[in-house]
Amino acid sequence: MEKETVQVLQRKPEETENKRKISSKNNIKVKKINNFLALLVILQFDCIQYLCVCVCVFAGDVEMDIEYLYEVVPQLSRVFRITDKIGEGTFSSVYLGEAQMTDGRREKFALKHLIPTSHPVRIAAELQCLTVAGGKENVMGVTYCFRKEHHVVIVMPYVEHQPFVEIVGTLSFEEVQHYIYHLLKALKHIHEFGIIHRDIKPTNFLYNRREKQYALVDFGLAQGTPDTQIELLKVVKAQKAGGGSTGRSEESQGKRALIPLPPNTPHHTPHTSTKPAAKRPCPPPSRTKHTKELMGLCKTSRSVFGERNLNNTNPPKTTDKAPLLKPTKTEDVAARRFVSTKRRPLPARSSTTGQKPKPTSLNPALTCSCYMTDHICNICLSRKQQVAPRAGTPGFRAPEVLTKCPNQGTAIDIWSAGVILLSLLSGRYPFFKASDDLLALTQIMTIRGSKETAQAARKFGKAIVCSRELPPLDLRILCETLRGIRPCGGDSLPPEFRTSRHPADTKQEQTGPTPGPSRGTGWDSVPDHIYDLLDKLLDLNPATRISAAVALQHPLFKDFTE
């Protein structure tokens, strides 16, 4: 065996001589190939080295964060052994800890460390939501709370769960039914207490697929309805009305009727985003989150829309279609200055407390000439921006939030649940992905129709101008095409969706017909009931949008038991 090995490794003299006789042209090719392979080896080595360093730094960051938590809240070390950091957001970080119970067993808990700049009333309101409404009906409860100076740690039961992005395309239809049922069940429960969650999304509704467990978490952005049973949510609202984070009351917006600006106002309007109910500045980006992004560990599924701006005012020359929203035109200031005092909108009467707000309609004769047109004059640009709650996650905000409707209720949570169901049925997450509210509203119009969106906006006193009419899409055709169940026909979907189809559909076109979905998953016989429910959840008008209590009585859930 050793002799054979030696013979293989030894190079014969004639072989060496033959290699010397290679032509110069081939020598150049060999050198290029060798250089290329060497470059690949170097790059591969560098990547491996870099990844190793990143993993070490990532692990070191978690260790440092845990040590820091022990330092700022020392009483934790006497109760918990913190083992990992399992979540991180703008306003908090979540850790996994173990505690020794009195019966000798060890139990896992989730420890939520709030950023020190959180307002005390906001922290207390979140705790009250968890204690009053939590612990039942798929709503997370609270076990204990630690405080050391301005550091607060909320201890909650730990629910082992799978990331939504990893399972959204693998769930069976029956699992989707149960998922949306239990989400609506949790929403019905908190809405009965007068709690508006404001941040309904998959990452805030934990799902243990194996144990069939569900938990609605994170009430950090919660607001109260006028009849809320959470007393501290009333305090949060009163502080905001008295000059809190926005300095102006939400109710005060009804004292004057504002002319809704046409949607496309780039480069001229000041920043229109308002802050959430509780002003909580973003902390500096943590090392852990940055390292994950460098390593590519943050898995994200491709959204339907992506970040492509459908309202680009400079479309490519190759396209002959008109943009959805026309470019802004600004009139000369001097030419319009004389009407600045004559054509300001007249103040409207404020709606009394306890009554439903009436839609504000203005006589165009009392306004400037740009009202309901595709351009904005300097008079409108000089007006103060309207303040309205807009807390939430992009992609899950309801139309009334995007259009700055000052009166928002529990219907905004129902819309977010509809977006989640849309992702479950289409197998796409996130479904909507927009960089600003205007683009988000345009994406909604692409699904639900531009005329329908404008008609619904008029119901709550808003005006939407769109230069191109977008017809509403059939939700079943949309979801089945994106999932790959239905082949994409010529005009079944608009061009915006043809590049976002399910990979299985694209593969089918390339390789020919393939077998349909597995019968075991149930996607080959989806009833119309679920698309009817989806249509009601995504009702553009919050006044007619289905409630969680009514949704639970839908025929889709006729065989479900409490």
CB 294 within 8 A of CB 54: yes
Length of the chain: 562
CA atoms in the 13 A half-sphere facing the CB of 113: 25
**In sequence order, which residues have a C-beta less than 8 Å from that of residue 170 and are 6 or more positions away?**
none
Q: What is d(CA 242, CA 249) in angstroms, rounded to the nearest whole number?
A: 7
pLDDT, residue 10, reads 40
The neighbouring-strand residues paired with 145 are 154
Question: What tokens does 385 get?
Answer: 């921006």
**In sequence order, which residues have a C-beta less than 8 Å from that of residue 202 and are 6 or more positions away?**
164, 168, 420, 423, 429
What angle, 0 to 180 degrees and rounded to 10, lies between the N-to-C axes of helices 528-537 and 411-426? Answer: 140
Question: What tokens does 396 get?
Answer: 């899950």
Question: What secondary structure, in 3-state letters, does 116-171 show?
Answer: CCCCHHHHHHHHHHHHHHCCCCCECCCCEEEEECCEEEEEEECCCCCCHHHHCCCC
CB 69 within 8 A of CB 77: no
Question: What tokens does 46 get?
Answer: 């560098």
pLDDT, residue 217, reads 97
**Top CATH class, 261-272+303-345+358-557:** mainly alpha
Which residues are designated catalytic? 199
pLDDT, residue 511, reads 40
Region of residue 484 (left: phi > 0; alpha: psi -120 to 50; beta: else): left
Q: Where are the beta strands (DSSP E) in 336-423?
A: none
CB 111 within 8 A of CB 82: yes
Cα 368 vs. chain centroid, distance in angstroms?
37
CB 115 within 8 A of CB 92: yes
| Phi, psi (rounded to 5 degrees) for 108 | -90, 145
Burial class (CB within 10 angstroms; exposed 0-12, middle 13-18, buried 19+) of 323: middle
First and final CA of the chain: distance in angstroms?
73
Q: Where are the beta strands (DSSP E) in 210-270?
A: 213-216, 223-224
DSSP string, 464-528: ---SS--PPPPHHHHHHHHHTSS---SSSS-HHHHTS--HHHHHHHHH-----S-GGGTTTS--H
pLDDT, residue 500, reads 53
CB 429 within 8 A of CB 301: yes
pLDDT, residue 58, reads 56
Q: Is 546 helix (H, G, I), strand (E, B) or coil?
A: coil
Q: What is d(CA 276, CA 240) in angstroms, rounded to the nearest whole number?
A: 10
What angle, 0 to 180 degrees and rounded to 10, lies between the N-to-C axes of helices 528-537 and 173-192? Answer: 30
Tens of pLDDT along the chain (562 residues) come to 444 433 333 444 454 455 444 444 444 444 444 444 444 444 444 545 544 444 444 567 899 999 999 999 999 999 999 999 999 988 999 999 999 888 889 999 999 999 999 999 999 999 999 999 999 999 999 999 999 999 999 999 999 999 999 999 999 999 999 999 999 999 999 999 999 999 999 999 999 999 999 999 999 999 999 999 999 999 887 776 554 333 333 333 333 333 344 444 444 444 444 444 444 444 444 544 444 443 444 444 567 775 544 444 444 444 444 555 444 444 444 444 344 444 444 444 444 434 444 454 445 445 677 877 777 888 888 888 888 888 999 999 999 999 999 999 999 999 999 999 999 999 999 999 999 999 999 999 999 999 999 999 999 989 898 889 999 999 999 999 999 888 876 566 666 665 554 444 444 344 444 334 444 589 999 999 999 999 999 999 999 999 999 999 999 999 887 6
Residue 414 identity: I
Q: Where along the chain do its domains lie?
A: 23-158, 261-272+303-345+358-557
The DSSP secondary-structure symbol of 380 reads H
Question: Radius of gyration of the chain from Cα atoms?
Answer: 29
Host H or E run for residue 62: helix 24-72
Q: Is 215 helix (H, G, I), strand (E, B) or coil?
A: strand
112 has binding-site annotation? yes
Indicate the pTM of the whole model. Answer: 0.69
**In sequence order, which residues have a C-beta less than 8 Å from that of residue 438 and are 6 or more positions away?**
263, 264, 311, 325, 402
CB 56 within 8 A of CB 72: no
pLDDT, residue 373, reads 79
**CATH fold of 23-158, please?**
Phosphorylase Kinase; domain 1 (3.30.200)
pLDDT, residue 370, reads 81
Burial code (b: 16+ CB inside 10 Å, e: under 16) for 400-429 equals bbbbbbbbbbbbbbbbbbbbbbbbbbbbbb
Q: Is 209 helix (H, G, I), strand (E, B) or coil?
A: coil
